[in-house]
Amino acid sequence: MKKVIYTVLTGNYDRLAQPEAVDPAWDYVCFTDKAGQDGVWKLREIPYASANPILRARYAKLRPNVLLPEYELSVFMDANLCITGDAFYEHISALENAPMALLEHPSRDCVYEELRYCYLKDKLSTRAAWGLLRSYKQMAMPRHFGLYETNVVLRHHQNAAVVALDKQWWRLLEASRCTRDQLSLTPALYLEGLQPALLLGRGLNARNVP
């Protein structure tokens, strides 16, 4: 099984952070604005045209079955995260049979509450907030359905259910006028009936696990 760890970094940058622990069983790909090589990272350009660099980054993040067709298993990681030890690979290997695994949100379990939080913190416009709320109501999105962070995402991204989920996730994100992808992920999971595994377990996330 071909496996890849990938990240996305758009715009100019001084240096892409290198993992402190590298496993030869995995490839490392960074989608960015240029092609080439940066340490262990193979750089690939994002084949999606948009004046919004965040939306371009989201496309690369949400569509691994399109952009990484040669791989079966992928782990997306935000570019500000670093693999600090071999325990990371051991933990991921234990979850290789899960179609998808995510990190539990550390503070909330409800997409409605996350929407309210983001609006009050000026992280999205009034128009986007009302549009998202209207879409939740139209799809009868239940409250407290679950909420996930998306800074680390494990996927068997060629799995038919995961492909359908990623398509739905991207469709909802594009329609939302909002690039905060977790606000579209929970509705996509609800509509597709996919229940992800927890990547690190209850109460654990990229902030409190070294």
- pLDDT per residue as tens digits for the range 170-185: 999 999 989 999 999 9
Q: What is the pLDDT of residue 16?
A: 87
Q: What is the mean pLDDT of the chain?
A: 94
Q: How confident is the model at residue 13 (pLDDT cuts 50, 70, 90)?
A: low
d(Cα 21, Cα 55) in Å, to the nearest integer?
A: 30
In degrees and rounded to multiples of 5, residue 155 shows phi and psi of -145, 135
pLDDT above 90 (res 34): no
3-class SS shares of the chain: helix, strand, coil, % to 5:
35, 20, 45
Tokens of 134: 């209207």
- Judge whether 8 and 46 are in contact, CB under 8 Å: yes
Residues 6+ apart with CB under 8 A from 28: 4, 5, 6, 19, 22, 40, 41, 42
Can you give the length of the chain in residues? 210
Distance between CA atoms of residues 173 and 94, nearest Å:
30
Helix (H/G/I), strand (E/B), else coil: 6: strand
